[in-house]
Structure 1
């Protein structure tokens, strides 16, 4: 089932820089809501890179209490961290290595023998932070960042994949990607991603307009199944990505 529009808020901003700044503001506000250990789940791709680079600069950097914020990944390609395809590698280069204590960065262990083994190991690590069931409060994450691919996938949960129906495991190995790069992946599952105070989708560029039009019109795409179980689900779009017929009752221009 897709996320009902009533459970989803859509905000349209001017361009990529505005999108990064708005996302940075939301991230910092979400951190400020939790005076204890904070857990942020990062996504890969080109759109969040601008956000990540922003977090390493002032005035944003000074507003983050780096010692108590832990950083995780929604998914990653099954490649070494120094490979150009690595999501955590991109995030490390953009801001984590310069700003975050190394012990607070929790990469998917792509050095494991197989994606399934990496998934099992990462699930154990996540469970060391969250000993209750995923549907129990407080949630595993304070904020989960997401995106949407050209086929409607999110994280590495692709259309028609068995992983879409996974309700027990928190993390799965993904043997085959639906879009380039065609390398195996490791991905958090919907129940794990849903255990968050806020799920924030970042979508930028006119190449995303067609898939967003399909998604926001109610097509059952993986990205539309993803939502915060009890928290906020926000789609943050720039004007280039926003469908022309976007429902104005769920959009606010900034």
Structure 2
């Protein structure tokens, strides 16, 4: 499956982060009540989070109405556990009100973390089943792995084909670091009017080429109910 249109090619990773920040501000401004944002991990989101918390954007965001969720997390007893949560905490600091950061439990078995986070998402959503007329999130941020994975949904793994559950345990990652994960599923990640793929660096040329050639990869099946936009830097798009 080819990468969904539209694709926006920007000069570098900083420009990708800025474009994502501008879209996030637009999403938040379009609502008058609480806003749910699903975050991803990685180097480009780190740039985005620092930008949001910096002087240019921090006053443009209604932090009291924003709730931050996570598309996946590394779990278990190793130093990698909780890395996506720490990334957001370090960037946002005290801008996030208590209870507005919703981390995936990272200190136990992935099955326990998946069950706990599914319950957390259902509390946020208010019902047990996803309604096509009502999104789970207002914006979902996604990345592209060098093997074509997104969140922690790896090619060839059963979790990438899950069609019912909102959250799954990923006991065996398909790419280093080979630590257990918890991941949202494609149905949950797609329950949004807007999904932004942030893709930067030369290492992403190969998976982008595989997607363009029609290969069935998890990232190619991650589609928002509304608009899916791929923000690429020139190094990735070359």
Structure 2 regions of 5+ residues with no counterpart? none
Contact between 1:80 and 1:86, CA under 8 Å: does it hold in 2?
Answer: no
Instruction: Find the counterpart in structure 2 of residue 199 from structure 1.
Output: 195
Q: Deviations over 1:21-70 (max 9, x none)?
A: 11100111111111111000000011211001101111200011001100
Q: Is the contact made by 1:20 and 1:51 (CA closer than 8 Å) also made in structure 2? A: yes
Could you tell me how far apart the structure 1 residues matched to 2:174 and 2:120 are? Answer: 27
Contact 1:198 1:232 in 2 (8 A): yes
Matches within 5 A, 1:47-196: 47-79=44-76, 83=80, 86-95=83-92, 97-111=93-107, 113-132=108-127, 133-196=129-192
Q: What's the CA shift for 1:82?
A: 7.5
Distance in 1 (alpha carbons) for counterparts of 2:211 and 2:166: 25
The question of whether the paired residues in 2 share the 8 Å contact of 1:84 and 1:90 is answered with: no
Shift of 1:79: 4.2
Following the alignment from structure 1 to structure 2, what is the Cα–Cα distance between the partners of residues 74 and 110? 13
> How far apart are the structure 2 equivalents of 1:175 and 1:60?
38
Q: Kindly tell me: are residues 158 and 139 of structure 1, through their superposed partners in 2, closer, same or farther at Cα, counting changes over 3 Å?
A: same
**1:102: Cα distance to partner?**
2.7
CA distance in 1, matches of 2:222, 2:112: 24
CA distance in 2, matches of 1:58, 1:81: 35
Deviation at 1:143, TM superposition (A): 0.3
Report the secondary structure of 2:18's partner residue: helix
* Distance change in 2, residues 1:110/1:169 (3 Å): same
| In structure 2, C-alpha distance between the alignment counterparts of 1:80 and 1:140, rounded to whole Å | 30
- Give the length in aligned residue pairs: 237
For residues 76 and 67 of structure 2, the distance between their equivalents in structure 1, rounded to whole angstroms, comes to 22
Aligned-residue RMSD, C-alpha? 1.7
TM-score, length-scaled by structure 2: 0.94
Aligned to 1:35: 32
Q: Distance in 1 between matches of 2:137 and 2:181?
A: 21
Contact 2:37 2:140 in 1 (8 A): yes
For each residue in 1:58-98, what CA deviation from the matched residue of structure 2 results, as whole angstroms up to 9, or x when unmatched?
12000110011000000000047975761111121122x23
Using the size of structure 1 for normalisation, the TM-score is 0.88
Q: Does the residue aligned with 2:73 lie in a helix, a strand or coil?
A: strand
User: What residue in structure 2 maps to residue 22 of structure 1?
Assistant: 19
**CA 1:225–1:49: 2 relative to 1, 3 Å:** same
